[in-house]
């Protein structure tokens, strides 16, 4: 019998590992799984990390990263790709080339991870430029927070209008969609601006008073990727992904002594 056509929820995640379990590959796998997807991974770096900061980073050899990508794509396939921490320009360029060769038509969610929640810098300037030139073009969705959007576009992102301008610039760079998040901006409400080649959507929610925000960017991007991999549209995937993340923040268990992790499994508690 021929294999059924259509999205199957398979997500290949290309990102770093977080020993504390709140961000990176660990958060990605949890989010994809909780939203009904199937997570595969290509680990790009091993970080020594907890809720208080990043204490060390060991890059995975380039051939090992590419090997993980190639075998999973060749054997299992993917309905979405999510990229996270890519610490060097050489790695960004190699990942982009591998995707062009092995997953050209698979939608990509590019989370331009540059700074950890703790404030630790995770990529260098050359890697930022490579993300801008090699991964933003052709991305189904780019998901920068306000500081990352400023770095990628050179535009100030301090208001909703700034978020709009940054999103427009990312589309001009070749992205099909840009979600410029407003969690780093002040105010009692958090506003995220989504622009695609077909329109604009504004998502607004009350700011949650909590210190458990470690891994929120990774979690949202992977949640969106899982939903896209199951056939949702970009606006619907963003809306549902935000709802999932808000629940994970509200139900955080307060682990650690710094910026604690969200509770990825909160949906199981409500069953």
216 is catalytic: yes
- Which of the following is catalytic: 33, 67, 213, 256? 213
CA distance readout (Å), 247 to 31, 64, 85, 130, 192: 12, 35, 24, 34, 16
98 is catalytic: no
- Which of the following is catalytic: 24, 182, 215, 247? 215
82 is catalytic: no
181 is catalytic: yes
Residue 121: DSSP 8-state: B
Task: State how far the Cα of 29 lies from the Cα of 239, in Å rounded to an integer.
Answer: 20
21 is catalytic: no
Burial classification of residue 6, based on how many CB atoms lie within 10 Å of its CB (0-12 exposed, 13-18 middle, 19 or more buried): exposed
| CB contact set of 134 (below 8 Å; sequence gap of 6+) | 92, 93, 96
The first and second tokens of residue 106, run together, are 């698979």
- Which of the following is catalytic: 218, 219, 241, 260? 218
72 is catalytic: no
- Which of the following is catalytic: 181, 196, 241, 247? 181
- Which of the following is catalytic: 41, 143, 216, 219? 216
- Which of the following is catalytic: 20, 21, 162, 217? 217
Q: Which residues are catalytic?
A: 181, 213, 215-218
């Amino acid at each position: 019998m021929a294999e059924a056509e259509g999205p199957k929820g398979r997500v290949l995640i290309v990102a770093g590992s977080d020993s504390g379990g709140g961000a990176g590959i660990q958060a990605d796998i949890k989010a994809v799984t909780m939203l009904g997807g199937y997570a595969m991974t290509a680990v790009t770096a091993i970080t020594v990390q907890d809720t208080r900061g990043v204490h060390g980073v060991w890059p995975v050899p380039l051939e090992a990263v590419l090997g993980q990508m190639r075998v999973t794509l060749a054997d299992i396939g993917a309905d979405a790709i999510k990229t996270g921490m890519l610490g060097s320009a050489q790695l960004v360029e190699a990942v982009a080339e591998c995707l062009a060769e092995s997953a050209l038509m698979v939608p990509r969610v590019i989370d331009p991870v540059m700074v950890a929640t703790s404030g630790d810098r995770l990529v260098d300037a050359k890697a930022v430029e490579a993300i801008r030139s090699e991964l933003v073009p052709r991305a189904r969705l780019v998901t920068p927070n306000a500081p990352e959007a400023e770095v990628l576009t050179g535009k100030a992102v301090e208001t909703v209008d700034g978020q709009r301008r940054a999103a427009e610039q990312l589309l001009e760079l070749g992205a099909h969609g840009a979600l410029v998040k407003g969690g780093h901006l002040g105010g009692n409400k958090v506003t995220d601006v989504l622009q695609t080649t077909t329109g604009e959507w504004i998502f607004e929610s009350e700011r949650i008073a909590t210190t458990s925000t470690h891994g929120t960017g990774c979690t949202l991007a992977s949640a969106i990727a899982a939903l896209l991999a199951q056939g949702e549209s970009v606006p619907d995937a963003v809306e549902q992904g935000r709802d999932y993340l808000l629940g994970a923040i509200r139900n955080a268990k307060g682990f650690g002594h710094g910026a604690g992790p969200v509770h990825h499994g909160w949906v199981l508690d409500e069953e």
